[in-house]
Amino acid sequence: HAKGSYSRRLTNKVAASNYFVLHDTSDDYKKATRNMENGVIDMILEIPPSFDRDIVKERSSRVGLAVNSVNGSAALLGGNYLTRIVEELSAELREESFHQPITRSAGQQVSRVVTQSATQPAAQLATQSKSVVPRYWFNPELDYKSYMIPGFMAIILTIICGILPALNIVMEKENGTIQQINVTPVSKMWFILAKLIPYWTIGVVAMIVSIAAAYLIYGLWPAGSVFSVLFSGIVFILSISGMGIIISNYSETLQQAAFLVIFFILIIILLSGMFTPISGMPAWAQAIASVNPFTYLTRSLRMLYLNGSSLADIAGNLMMLGIFSVILNGWAVLSYRKRG
């Protein structure tokens, strides 16, 4: 909020660091809150309007730091990095005779910068203590299970609706039974649908069981709508099953299909942001993550479980999954050779 020299100095230090990308310098805290809830930003640094005046006149000023802790490890690191930047500013002010260590009050992570009078001893300044009481949003306890369980749900759906259909069709190729279907007037689209519908049904049941197991075993229940969780899973099932059929269409043996499945599934899972933040990946990995259906399901489930987001909040992720569903299933139908 503040526009003075000290506040600009703090903002510039944050923007110049290698740890953060400055998204906006808005005066609307509610707008920043909405951006954090929607996953647009990860941290909010609130500089009150009286920041510069308090430093000069009252020798005391505060800045608030709110951290999106859906990803607990990233939240902890980000909070520590930003705390270090504020402490560096405090050290610079001490050198300029605006001295005193930084302290933080409870309720949210807060930094206090206090000026030193000309008669205050430097030894007294050096011995004052600092305390940090951070405020983490959406995952206050930084519980790793709350962060990982939605990702494991996505893995279960990938195995059931992506891997199993691919291996099933290739097994029929090896056994020769698929030739009996190829000589019938059944169209390619209906044949593929007949192969996928059982796995789609099993996938929906597995999603329901996963939601119940997460609650009964770990006490984890969606902060948002359960219907939204199921709907996200269904849209993902449509896309990942298309990828499985594509693999089966280009595989002649079960061993060949298994190698392709392992190759693509490892890439899908590791480059989805499930284990490491996408923002910390190199550019080529971020490009792969942007065309990875697993990325958008994992992001949606975490928003629904931890943020309490609605369908409107995850509409962008669902739209991307829908696009993948059309592209992958269309490719699957076109690449299937009925009498190849």
Separation in Å, CA 48 to CA 51, 224, 242:
5, 32, 52
Shared domain for 61 and 12, answered yes or no, is yes
Here the tokens at position 160 are 């059931």
**Domain boundary residue among 142, 165, 200?**
142
DSSP state letters, 68-107: E-SSHHHHHHHHHHHHHHHHHHHHHHHHTT--------TT
Maximum average pLDDT range among 28-42, 52-66, 195-209, 325-339: 195-209
Here the tokens at position 294 are 């697993």
Which pLDDT score is estimated for 128?
38
For residue 297, what pLDDT band results from cuts at 50, 70 and 90? very high
Separation in Å, CA 30 to CA 26, 37, 62:
10, 10, 19
Give domain status of residue 111, yes or no.
Answer: no
Measure CA 225 to chain center: 18
- 3-class secondary-structure state, position 136: strand
Contact 303, 279 (CB under 8 A): no
Rounded mean pLDDT, 173-183: 79
Shared domain for 136 and 199, answered yes or no, is no
CA distance 76 to 61: 24
Shared domain for 138 and 199, answered yes or no, is no
Nearest of 56, 64, 67, 68 to residue 104 by alpha carbon = 64
Which pLDDT score is estimated for 294?
92
Shared domain for 176 and 73, answered yes or no, is no
For residue 201, what pLDDT band results from cuts at 50, 70 and 90? very high
Shared domain for 250 and 317, answered yes or no, is yes
* Cβ-Cβ contacts under 8 Å for 142 (sequence gap 6 or more): 69, 72, 73, 75, 76, 136
Which pLDDT score is estimated for 138?
66
Which pLDDT score is estimated for 114?
42
**Domain boundary residue among 142, 165, 197?**
142
Which pLDDT score is estimated for 323?
94
For residue 216, what pLDDT band results from cuts at 50, 70 and 90? very high
Shared domain for 188 and 277, answered yes or no, is yes
Give domain status of residue 260, yes or no.
Answer: yes
Shared domain for 168 and 302, answered yes or no, is yes
Q: Is the pLDDT of residue 319 over 90?
A: yes
CA distance 11 to 86: 10
Which amino acid would we find at residue 225? S
Which pLDDT score is estimated for 153?
92
Which pLDDT score is estimated for 26?
74
Per the structure, the count of domains in the chain is: 2
Here the tokens at position 237 are 């099932």
Give domain status of residue 244, yes or no.
Answer: yes
Give domain status of residue 110, yes or no.
Answer: no
Shared domain for 174 and 41, answered yes or no, is no
Contact 296, 317 (CB under 8 A): yes
CA distance 299 to 23: 20
Shared domain for 137 and 149, answered yes or no, is no
CA distance 310 to 228: 7
Maximum average pLDDT range among 123-137, 177-191, 292-306: 292-306
Give domain status of residue 54, yes or no.
Answer: yes
Give domain status of residue 112, yes or no.
Answer: no
Shared domain for 50 and 66, answered yes or no, is yes
pLDDT tens for residues 98-120?
Answer: 444 444 443 344 444 444 443 34
109-112 vs 62-68, strand pairing mode: antiparallel
For 44-55, give one letter per residue: b (16+ CB within 10 A) or e. Answer: bbbbeebbbebb
Rounded mean pLDDT, 18-40: 76
Give domain status of residue 153, yes or no.
Answer: yes
Nearest of 39, 40, 55 to residue 7 by alpha carbon = 55
Which pLDDT score is estimated for 165?
87
Rounded mean pLDDT, 76-105: 65
Shared domain for 288 and 239, answered yes or no, is yes
Which pLDDT score is estimated for 73?
62
Q: Is the pLDDT of residue 96 over 70?
A: no
Here the tokens at position 209 are 């069981």
Range of the domain at 46: 1-97+132-142
User: Which position has the higher pLDDT, 138 or 113?
Assistant: 138
Mean per-residue pLDDT over the chain, rounded: 78
**Domain boundary residue among 76, 111, 142?**
142
Measure CA 83 to chain center: 23
Give domain status of residue 317, yes or no.
Answer: yes
User: Which position has the higher pLDDT, 147 or 161?
Assistant: 161
Which amino acid would we find at residue 59? R
User: Which position has the higher pLDDT, 189 or 73?
Assistant: 189
Rounded mean pLDDT, 269-281: 83
For residue 142, what pLDDT band results from cuts at 50, 70 and 90? low
pTM of the entire predicted model: 0.65
Which pLDDT score is estimated for 149?
87
Shared domain for 186 and 240, answered yes or no, is yes
